[in-house]
Amino acid sequence: ETLITEGRATIVFPSANEVFYNPVQGFNRDLTCAVLTEFVRLQLRPKGIRVVLPGEEELGGSPPDPPEAGDAQNPPEPPRTARPGEPCEGGLRVLEALAASGLRSIRFAREVPGLGAVVASDCSPRAAALMARNVALNGVGDLVTPRLADARMLMYQSKAERAPFDVIDLDPYGSPAPFLDAAVQAVSEGGLLCVTCTDMAVMAGNSAETCYSKYGAVSLKGKFCHEMALRIILHSLDLRANCYQRFVVPLLSVSADFYVRVFVRVFTGQAKVKASASKQALVFHCVGCGSHHLQRLGRATSHGSGFKYSVATGPPVGPTCEFCHQRHQVGGPVWAEPLHDPAFVEGVLAALERSPGRFSTEPRLRGVLSVIAEELSDVPLYYTLDGLSSTIRSNTPSLLQLR
């Protein structure tokens, strides 16, 4: 057996490789804890619950909650405080549907304040037994409940029992496609859905037909393939949510190492679902010069106090590329709206500033989130400097010169 410590969790692993563990995904788990903390803060603030992290009191505390109206006879109640490792009455319910060793759930319980309950589920009896052992080892039995269950059945059951989860985390070995339908139904109104895809070969254009069978979109090979992978999974999530009059709003989307990770909120609204077609687009990619154009699937035009929805017109390109006269490849549909919520990203960054040293990958977290905060939100896909230079057969200038 091996003891492994990550964050504030210490877990036991059997010597045999019976339960999957990937230490490289420590950054993924750190990022998820940071995002979940900020989401909890936003969700509990209207309830008068103040989220506090270790070190925040010394540095001046978390952002003050807006004062509630009151009078001399009925003054407003003082805000409650939620701290990591303590069950919070009225806190969020979290599901880790593919928990394996339970490491992520234990880290949630020990590092994220404002949680009411965490369900760690796996369909492997060995994994469920190991989870129970690790939960007891870390003393988080009052927060984490290990479950032996099929992830899809557990999520469908929660919907049937009208007991949705406020946060659902899907981090499978491979594609999350089999679990997305259940997940978009089992998450609460405005809840958070966290999804990891590790099948990057499929999503980055090496097997376009397989990508279509899993995500309903054709992937393309190109310099922008990793961003396109993010947009494919967002399209797939929104498409599945639309079947139940729901839609997604991305908070943060990241491509890192060998996977992509998205954090989206799920809402219900028939009127908003009508706009979903105008949020998706086909991608026309030139095989010669690498130029690309997007063709929206629908059109939303302002009409009085609302919007009028209609089919789009196109295509945006001719039979051949206007620059090099080569043919186009057609990919997608992909999500053509912003990948991130800038205000939310700034909130996560600010929380990192208030609690330095919280994560072992903090320098990388700051770097990735800072770059994301500077991205242009209304420009899907991108060109690279070396790719443009290669097309026009010139030396590649430095980024500093270009700026």
Quick check: bond before 164 cis, omega within 30? no
Place of tokens 């230490």: 23
Query: What is the C-alpha separation between 149 and 160, in angstroms, rounded?
Result: 16
What are the residue ranges spanned by the domains of the chain?
2-55+81-270+338-402
Q: Does domain 2-55+81-270+338-402 have CATH number 3.40.50.150?
A: yes
Look at 2-6, 38-42, 145-149, 247-251 and tell me which has the smallest mean pLDDT: 2-6
Residue 59 pLDDT more than 50? Answer: no
User: Given phi > 0 = left and psi -120 to 50 = alpha, else beta, which region is 135?
Assistant: alpha
Helix, strand, coil shares, percent, the chain, to 5? 35, 25, 40
Q: What is the pLDDT of residues 152-192, one digit of tens each?
A: 999 999 999 999 999 999 999 889 999 999 999 999 999 99
Query: What is the C-alpha separation between 380 and 400, in angstroms, rounded?
Result: 23
Structure token digits, residue 151: 């992830």
Query: What is the C-alpha separation between 396 and 55, in angstroms, rounded?
Result: 46
Query: Which pLDDT does position 93 carry in this prediction?
Result: 97
Q: What is the pLDDT of residues 296-353, one digit of tens each?
A: 999 999 888 888 999 999 899 999 999 999 999 999 999 999 999 999 999 999 999 9
Quote the pTM value.
Answer: 0.92
HEC per residue, 213-269? HHHCCECCCCCCHHHHHHHHHHHHHHHHHHCCCEEEEEEEEEEECCEEEEEEEEEEC
Q: Strand, helix or coil at 26?
A: helix
Q: 19 or 232: whose pLDDT is higher? A: 232
Query: Which pLDDT does position 58 carry in this prediction?
Result: 45
Query: Which pLDDT does position 75 carry in this prediction?
Result: 58
H helices within 112-247, ranges in order? Answer: 125-138, 151-160, 177-186, 200-201, 208-215, 225-242
Q: What is the pLDDT of residues 259-308, one digit of tens each?
A: 999 999 999 999 899 999 999 999 999 999 999 999 999 999 988 888 89
Q: Is the dihedral of CA 248, 252, 255, 261 positive or negative?
A: negative
**Confidence grade of residue 94 (pLDDT, cut at 50, 70, 90):** very high
Residue 402 pLDDT more than 90? Answer: no
Give percent of the chain above pLDDT 90: 77
**End-to-end distance of the chain based on CA atoms, in angstroms?**
54
